[in-house]
A and B are shown apart, each in its own frame.
Chain A
Amino acid sequence: MRSATPWSDVLSYLVEATGETLYMVGVSTVIATAFGVPLGVWLQLTAKGGLRPNAAVHRVLGFITDLGRSMPFIVLLVALTSVTRLIVGGSIGSTAVIVPLAVGAIPFVGRLVQNILSEVHVTVVEAAVTTGASTLRIVRSVLIRESLPALINAIGVTVIALIGYSAMAGVIGGGGLGDLAIREGYQRFNDRILWSTVAWLAVLTTLIQLGFTRAARASDRRRHATV
């Protein structure tokens, strides 16, 4: 039985892995948002009763979205290796994980966004239509602005989910907190690393969740209501 890893080493392990996780999750969240929000908007615009109803487009988009969502992440991770190599010039490491993470999250964000936008009441949208506003303006000033608090929360949910998925990044050498817990902790029977990583993950996700909840509240004008 070897002696436990010194706490100072555990700390440096954690710092490094946290950096990798935040990098992978951060960049993939930005990409997933950049593509997922327009996807959600497009799904909602083409839906029945949407601003630009188009059954054919809606069905095709919906099919692709749901196909993407039903794909287990681990499959995506390996299936996308060649695509990843093409985009980032390599197929291992943290940067390589970003591609499958982002690709997996885009349909996830798309559906979340569509559901949220569909909650904006039809009379509110129609009222904007009658002002002669362009579709783009209605998307920005009405659909997105009216549901901004819910959208911010949805991005928070996405970040947490991506932290979970990124735990599988070790498979292609991506590193990160999940990889630390599995490889250094679990597989090497190093309980100190395993449990400190688990505890730190719990704290980290809670902090992130808290941050998004705060941001969502800050964006919600209705909180000023005097009721």
Chain B
Amino acid sequence: MITVENLTKSFQGVNALNGVTLDVEAGTVLGVVGPSGAGKSTLARCVALLERPDSGAIRVDGTDITALDGSALRAARRQIGVVPQGDSLLRQRTAAGNIALPLESAGIPGPQRRSRVGELLDLVGLTDKAASYPDQLSGGQRQRIAVARALAANPSVLLADEPTSALDPETTGSVLTVLDRARAELGVTVLVVTHDMGVVRKICDDVAVLEQGRVVEHGKVLDLVGDAGSRTSSALLPAVDLNPINESSYDRVADVVLVGFAAVGALLPEASHRFGVELNIVGGGLTRLGETPVARFRLGLNGERSDSALEWIGEAGGAVQRSLKGPQGVAA
């Protein structure tokens, strides 16, 4: 579990972080997104103990790690696995040798080291590349080795700064799968910095949006998508208004967000049936956030009890974002 409290950091008058507060629950994945220069890397470097914040605290499992020195600092670093931005492998060492580095730092003896390296190669699916040098690996494979290295000393936290920024979509998938396995199989808490909302879509439980050194949005991805005004929802959900519709042909027009198999599959037909209204999907579509199907539809409703139908959808767990037509206050 990571807690960041009121973190500030400035570089020669540039305030890179302006009081950043956020937390990542144990065993979850937080995506930190935001425009270039927002302070994402600065935040990541502070958590990685490569940069000392000017003020504020960073707690890992309750202990403030910002003020440590010497061997306590090195021990804390071992608790935090880091996948740095860009190429970071030793080119004069094999894949296995690179993964072994944190184990050497931790003073783990040879035989144990070798078996642990074997486990990690297996975790990232590169057992056959153990003896390859970084120059012989593809970008995605190098990045997976970097993840394996970060996980080698059994850290409780995994930190990755733009782990997929230089990769094509397919390779990106393989790296994200590895991060996801780390959380699922090792229970590590993951903080991933990215400018790619696709990363948030695929593996993040929570998201924090950083702008000019401040957190402007922070919460569970599946909660934030239901909030019409959130940056997360506009970035992740299908657009609803690509095709202008003739609103006059409906009594009510509303946007709804439905999260989960049950809601996406059954809520709308059920509403139509219960309230005897005609219910058409006139825009939007279906997407997937992690394993969860999520839909944002623009609905056109006809029938006397259209408002009640919308209200019921809201109560049944759908987020009725906007009643484009008809009385306000229907939205849940």
Q: How far is the CB of A191 from chain B (nearest CB, A)?
A: 49
Q: Which residue on A lies nearest to B101, using beta carbons?
A: A131
Contacts of B101 in A (CB 8 A): 128, 131, 133, 141
CA distance A225 to B135 in the complex (A): 6
Binds B, one of A3-11, A52-60, A216-224: A216-224
Q: Is there contact, CB below 8 Å, between B91 and A222?
A: yes
Q: Is there contact, CB below 8 Å, between B149 and A131?
A: yes
A66 at the interface (CB under 8 A from B): no
Among B74, B133, B152, contact of A221 (Cβ-Cβ < 8 Å): B133
Check A131/B90 contact, CB under 8 A, given A221-B133, A222-B135.
no
Binds B, one of A22-30, A84-92, A142-150, A179-187: A142-150
Contacts of A137 in B (CB 8 A): 104-105
How many residues on B have C-beta within 8 angstroms of the other chain's C-beta atoms? 35
Which DSSP category, helix, strand, loop or mixed, fits chain A's interface?
A: helix
Check A133/B86 contact, CB under 8 A, given A146-B92, A227-B135.
no
Q: Is there contact, CB below 8 Å, between B74 and A133?
A: yes
Q: Is there contact, CB below 8 Å, between A224 and B133?
A: yes
Contacts of B76 in A (CB 8 A): 132
Q: Is there contact, CB below 8 Å, between A132 and B78?
A: yes
How many residues on A have C-beta within 8 angstroms of the other chain's C-beta atoms? 25
Check A130/B77 contact, CB under 8 A, given A121-B87, A137-B105, A145-B90.
yes
Q: Is there contact, CB below 8 Å, between B50 and A130?
A: yes
Contacts of B320 in A (CB 8 A): none
Among B84, B104, B146, contact of A141 (Cβ-Cβ < 8 Å): B104
**Other than the known A123-B86, A124-B91, A130-B81, what 16 A-B pairs have Cβ atoms closer than 8 Å?**
A121-B87, A124-B88, A124-B89, A126-B84, A131-B77, A132-B78, A132-B105, A133-B101, A148-B92, A220-B92, A221-B94, A222-B133, A222-B135, A224-B133, A225-B133, A227-B135
